[in-house]
Amino acid sequence: MYLFVVRRLLMSIPTLIIVAVMIFCLVRALPGDAAIMMLGGNIDDEATLEMMRQQLGLDQPLPVQFVAWLRELFSGNLGISVLTGQPVGALLLDRFSVTATVVLLAMASALIVSVPLGLLAAHRHNSRTDYAIVVLTILKLSMPSFWVGLMLLVLFGAILGWLPTVGFVSLSQDFGLGVTYLILPVTSLALSEIAVMTRMMRAGSLEVMNRDYITHARAKGLPERQVLWRHVFPNAFAPTLTMVGIAMAGLLAGAAVTETVFTLPGLGKLLVDSIYGRDYPVLQGALLFIALIYVVTNLLIDIAYTFFDPKVRLT
Amino acid sequence: MKKNTRIFATLFAATVIGCAPAGAVMAQSVVHMALNADIRGTNPGVTRDGNTDIIHAQFVEGLVTYGKNFEVIPMLADSYDVSEDGLTYTFKLRHGVKFHNGEEMTAKEVEWSWNRLAGEASESHCKNYFNGENGLKVVSAKAIDDYTFEIKLDRPYAVFLATIARFDCGSMGVLHPDSVNADGSWNAPIGTGPYVMGEHLPGRYVELNRFADYVSRDEPMNGLGGGKHAEVDTLHFDIVSEGAVAKTALMAGDLDLVALDAMAASELKDQPGFKVDITQSAVWDTYLLNPNDPVLADVRIRQAMAHAIDPNQIMAAITEGFGKASPSPVPPMSKNFTEVEAEYPAYDVELAKTLMKEAGYNGEEIKILATRRNGAYYERALMAQAMLMDAGFNATLEVVEWGTQLEAYRTGEGYTMQSFSFSPRLHAGLSFEMFTGDDVRKAWQDPEAIALVQESLTTRDPERLQAIIDELSRRFNEQVPAIGLGHRMLFTGMSDRIEGFEDWGAGVLRGWMLRTSN
């Protein structure tokens, strides 16, 4: 496994270089002048604009800007945010820690709920329980996440007054208080994932339940619970795991909507702000970081396959 | 979230996870507010945007500032004199003004602060207002004695004081030299304002703490100047980019004061426990017409468009009936706003159709550019499109991101008309100057109008200034370089425990006026 991990990481280097080139080109292709955004939209003064372009290095030809960025990148320096003056590397890690906390808790919660729910729905296929689960998941999938988040805020923040509606306290800062700030965003994200994963788990389980080895397990008199957990679950979970990997990478790359609704200082919010503010160093750094997240997440999912599917070998 | 339930929730969470309870200790006299985006820094006049300027205005002050009706009034200066030739400005400084580090302000710090922003090595965009890049050049700026500061200009410039009072320059704020490190890099602001910069957690919140040793002027509060008697210990600004979330937080009691949109203000104004402040600002919402578009070359087409759009209907719709049209670029609260500025092309669809026919309009595309940014840019554009189509124009609407729209504005390409806004210009001449000139982005390129605008910025005769502004207003209505809509309404919702809040035309928060009832 060690060799596999090292090889995969080495293989990701050319991928990241190609991504870096694409990121630089795409970011520079964005319409709009970063210097104008830096000046808060004040473009009455061409001399000031020119001064700002010089400060940002935007007066240089694109190849020169690219080489300068790459040189800094290889020396481990992602640059300085032109919006806030903070080092981009530190900024990304700070924001990623917020996103990762919310996403990992949400995914864990979603798995805990959706796996048994999907198995149950499959086990009671075409029963009222199955219909109820299917209808509820479709209902949730039909709701925009922005609206669900807002409704959670209104209910638990404004009406019941149980949980805070704005702000963020990290767990390391104050664990107890931090938990209260995490409950709503984690719930909001988890609800979305529960809907998707439950349907995935249900479909996978239904397919597995029709296999001969399940009929055989039942015929030899195994209790239904054992049939479900020992035989159906491991075989049905592999496709769900793929889904988990894709969803996890996507969410770690920034759950921008959730972060905006719950005023979380996460990676997604940072990315959106950097696009609107034309904060090139942050935008480029964040996109590269997101590419890295996808590489690492996919690697971890590939490793996780070996635990659920004995046919998979890491070579 | 209410305080008792917050503590309950904290205790509950801590119990559930088996940890010692960590109660939230709420400081007394804190006002929680929302900023829709994080500040860009703490360096007045250098790291700035609209939100950042608001925070800076709480801790930094300049020699002069703007009064309620946009008149320039002394702030750190006790008084000022202008020489007969208009070239020398002499500021007599107030005695006993304290910096946040306890040291007394003298002309030495004023000179240092001036050079920090206006000097050659300055990183501030403000230096270009004074170094000749835009015409005016400050020949010298120096301390004469401990309490006298003198600035000499290369030419008379009527809006010089208004320029140094600009919000985006932090009013050319006076700071203590210890605000920068030994190598000249920025450290932290040591100003003279009623609040001291507190903690700033990027992306999360900004805090300002009351400056206990603040020495106030004796006069009543006036705009950003006059007496400042801060009572609230801490001003806490959470970064909340979504208006709906800010409103929910206000209703939950987590925020005390937030900017609202018209619909939210309408919903909240009659609810017990809340108050809503509605104030007309000097932000000019308008439709800019592209002078480089051949479709608009015939003045009759522009006039037809002006007659086809009803600013009253649009203003009523986007403000839920709280606002009314004020199409002149000169804001109604300006002393130069008279009955001449109150006039504008009447809504008359038949007249519009006649003018279109006379001009030979043949269905050419009128491409309206708009963005979904706060400020009802999109809604304004949508309604204008419907009205133009009603009159027979082939109006299309393209919605773009703000940066893209600004680029179109700067280059004068990619649009026929755009839903646009101009931030407050606190001198009537500047209200026209913002869209008048020979640059491609300027909507009004008439040489006579340009000459009049330039004269308005140099004349020191109030009667002549009024005559120029009236003449510009008449020409504006005849030539229609832009179709004015109104001056934006500002809606602020607050808990009824907040007292003393009053918005004003410039829309810059004055934290020192806030009081809490418990």
pLDDT at B18: 40
What phi and psi, each to the nearest 5 degrees, are found at residue B205? -160, 165
Write the CA distances from B364 to B296, B302, B307, B359, integer angstroms.
Answer: 10, 13, 18, 12
Q: How far away is chain A from the Cα of B265, in angstroms, using its nearest Cα?
A: 17
Q: Which CATH class is domain B280-488?
A: alpha beta
Taking residues B443-465, report their average pLDDT.
93
pLDDT at A198: 94
Percent of chain A past pLDDT 90, that is, above it, reads 38
Is residue B478 packed enough to be buried (19+ CB in 10 Å), middle (13-18) or exposed (0-12)? exposed
A174 CB neighbours in chain B (<8 A) are: 22
A216 has a pLDDT exceeding 50: yes
Q: Tell me whether residues B11 and A31 touch, CB distance under 8 A.
A: no
Distance separating alpha carbons of residues B415 and A83, to the nearest angstrom = 29
Q: Tell me whether residues A47 and B133 touch, CB distance under 8 A.
A: yes
pLDDT at A73: 82
Rg for chain A (alpha carbons), in Å? 24
The dotted CATH code for B5-40+51-59+193-260+491-516 is: 3.40.190.10
Thinking of the domain B64-178, which architecture would CATH place it in? Alpha-Beta Complex (3.90)
Taking residues B274-286, report their average pLDDT.
94
Q: Tell me whether residues A265 and B203 touch, CB distance under 8 A.
A: yes
Nearest CB neighbour to A261, from listed B201, B203, B245: B245
Tell me which residues of chain B, numbers 22 to 61, contact chain A at a CB-CB cutoff of 8 Å. 22, 24, 34, 37-38, 40-41, 47-50, 52
Q: Could you identify the residue written with the tokens 């979305």?
A: A192
Taking residues B274-300, report their average pLDDT.
95
Distance separating alpha carbons of residues B275 and B499, to the nearest angstrom = 10
Average pLDDT, chain B: 91
pLDDT at B172: 94
pLDDT at B169: 85
* CA quadruple A111, A116, A117, A121: dihedral, nearest 10: 140
Taking residues B355-383, report their average pLDDT.
94
Q: Where are any strands of DSSP class E within B216-273?
A: 234-239, 257-260
Report for A246-250, A260-264, B407-411, B474-478: range of highest mean pLDDT = B474-478
A153 CB neighbours in chain B (<8 A) are: 245, 248-249, 252
B245 has a pLDDT exceeding 60: yes
Distance separating alpha carbons of residues B119 and B113, to the nearest angstrom = 9
A307 has a pLDDT exceeding 80: no
Q: Tell me whether residues B125 and A36 touch, CB distance under 8 A.
A: no
Q: A287: which residues sit within 8 A by CB, 6+ positions away?
A: A19, A23, A27, A271
B457 has a pLDDT exceeding 60: yes
Distance separating alpha carbons of residues B106 and B89, to the nearest angstrom = 17
Taking residues B459-484, report their average pLDDT.
95
Range B140-171 burial, b when 16+ CB lie within 10 A, else e: ebebeeebbbbbebeeebbbbbbbbbbbbbbb
B380 has a pLDDT exceeding 90: yes
Between A29-43, B106-120, B287-301, B330-344, the lowest mean confidence (pLDDT) is in A29-43
Rg for chain B (alpha carbons), in Å? 25
Tell me which residues of chain B, numbers 135 to 194, contact chain A at a CB-CB cutoff of 8 Å. 168
Q: Tell me whether residues A43 and B205 touch, CB distance under 8 A.
A: no
Tell me which residues of chain B, numbers 315 to 374, contact chain A at a CB-CB cutoff of 8 Å. none
B284 CB neighbours in chain A (<8 A) are: none
Q: What is the largest CA-CA distance in chain B?
A: 82
The residue length of chain B stands at: 518
Element (H, E) at A193: helix A175-209
Range A180-216 burial, b when 16+ CB lie within 10 A, else e: bbbbbbbbbbbbbbbbbbbbbbbbbbbebbeeeebee
pLDDT at A254: 66
Element (H, E) at B289: strand B274-289
Distance separating alpha carbons of residues A256 and A258, to the nearest angstrom = 6
Q: CB pairs below 8 Å between A and B: how many?
A: 171
Taking residues B84-104, report their average pLDDT.
96
Q: How far away is chain B from the Cα of A302, in angstroms, using its nearest Cα?
A: 32
**Terminal Cα distance for chain A, rounded:** 7
B11 CB neighbours in chain A (<8 A) are: 176
Q: ipTM greater than 0.90, yes or no? A: no
The total of other beta-carbon atoms located within 10 Å of residue A169's CB is: 20
A13 has a pLDDT exceeding 90: no
Between A236-245, B244-253, B361-370, B420-429, the lowest mean confidence (pLDDT) is in A236-245
Distance separating alpha carbons of residues B324 and B343, to the nearest angstrom = 13
Nearest CB neighbour to B242, from listed A51, A175, A260: A260
What is residue A212's three-state secondary structure? Answer: helix
Q: Tell me whether residues B8 and A43 touch, CB distance under 8 A.
A: no
B348 has a pLDDT exceeding 50: yes
Percent of chain A past pLDDT 70, that is, above it, reads 95
What phi and psi, each to the nearest 5 degrees, are found at residue B425? -110, 120
Q: Tell me whether residues B252 and A45 touch, CB distance under 8 A.
A: no
Taking residues A78-87, report their average pLDDT.
83
Task: Name the DSSP class of A155.
Answer: I
Percent of chain B past pLDDT 90, that is, above it, reads 75
Nearest CB neighbour to A176, from listed B21, B41, B409: B21
A309 has a pLDDT exceeding 70: no
A152 CB neighbours in chain B (<8 A) are: none
Taking residues B410-433, report their average pLDDT.
91
Looking at the complex, does the CB of residue B227 fall below 8 Å from at least one CB of chain A? no
Looking at the complex, does the CB of residue B21 fall below 8 Å from at least one CB of chain A? yes
Model's pTM, two decimal places?
0.84
The total of other beta-carbon atoms located within 10 Å of residue B287's CB is: 28
Give B437's Cβ-side CA count (13 Å radius): 17
A88 CB neighbours in chain B (<8 A) are: none
Amino acid type, A305: Y
Looking at the complex, does the CB of residue B266 fall below 8 Å from at least one CB of chain A? no
The band of A313, judged by pLDDT with boundaries at 50, 70 and 90, is low
* CA quadruple B406, B407, B412, B417: dihedral, nearest 10: -40
pLDDT in tens, B178-193: 999 998 889 999 999 9
A175 CB neighbours in chain B (<8 A) are: 14, 17, 19, 22
pLDDT at A43: 64
Q: What is the largest CA-CA distance in chain A?
A: 85
Q: How far away is chain A from the Cα of B218, in angstroms, using its nearest Cα?
A: 35
What is residue B305's three-state secondary structure? Answer: helix
Q: Tell me whether residues B1 and A55 touch, CB distance under 8 A.
A: no
Q: Tell me whether residues B48 and A48 touch, CB distance under 8 A.
A: no
- The residue extents of the domains of chain B are 5-40+51-59+193-260+491-516, 64-178, 280-488
CB A188 within 8 A of CB A262: yes
Question: What DSSP string runs through A69-121?
Answer: HHHHHHTT---B-TTT--BHHHHHHHHHHHHHHHHHHHHHHHHHHHHHHHHHH
A93 CB neighbours in chain B (<8 A) are: none
B187 CB neighbours in chain A (<8 A) are: none
pLDDT at A45: 66
Q: In what order do the strands lie in the sheet with B365-370?
A: B195-201, B205-210, B234-239, B30-35, B257-260, B482-495, B274-289, B417-422, B365-370, B394-399
Closest residue by Cα to residue B172 from B131, B118, B221: B118
CB B45 within 8 A of CB B173: yes
Looking at the complex, does the CB of residue B204 fall below 8 Å from at least one CB of chain A? yes
Distance separating alpha carbons of residues B478 and B344, to the nearest angstrom = 9
The band of A42, judged by pLDDT with boundaries at 50, 70 and 90, is low
The dotted CATH code for A88-308 is: 1.10.3720.10
Distance separating alpha carbons of residues B146 and B149, to the nearest angstrom = 8
Asked, colleague to colleague, whether B5-40+51-59+193-260+491-516 and B280-488 share their fold, the answer is: no
Looking at the complex, does the CB of residue B249 fall below 8 Å from at least one CB of chain A? yes
Distance separating alpha carbons of residues B90 and B143, to the nearest angstrom = 10
pLDDT at A224: 86
pLDDT in tens, B6-63: 444 444 444 444 443 334 444 479 999 999 888 988 999 888 788 899 999 999 999 9
Closest residue by Cα to residue B193 from B505, B510, B514, B499: B510
Q: Tell me whether residues A164 and B1 touch, CB distance under 8 A.
A: yes
Write the CA distances from B321 to A91, B94, B263, B267, B324, integer angstroms.
Answer: 44, 45, 10, 13, 8
Q: How far away is chain A from the Cα of B77, in angstroms, using its nearest Cα?
A: 28
Q: Tell me the two tokens of residue B213.
A: 């040793």
B431 has a pLDDT exceeding 90: yes
What phi and psi, each to the nearest 5 degrees, are found at residue B232? -75, 130
The residue length of chain A stands at: 315
**Terminal Cα distance for chain B, rounded:** 17
Q: How far away is chain B from the Cα of A171, in angstroms, using its nearest Cα?
A: 11
Plot region of A110 (φ>0 → left; ψ -120 to 50 → alpha; else → beta): alpha
B125 CB neighbours in chain A (<8 A) are: 39, 42, 45, 48, 51-52
B137 has a pLDDT exceeding 90: yes
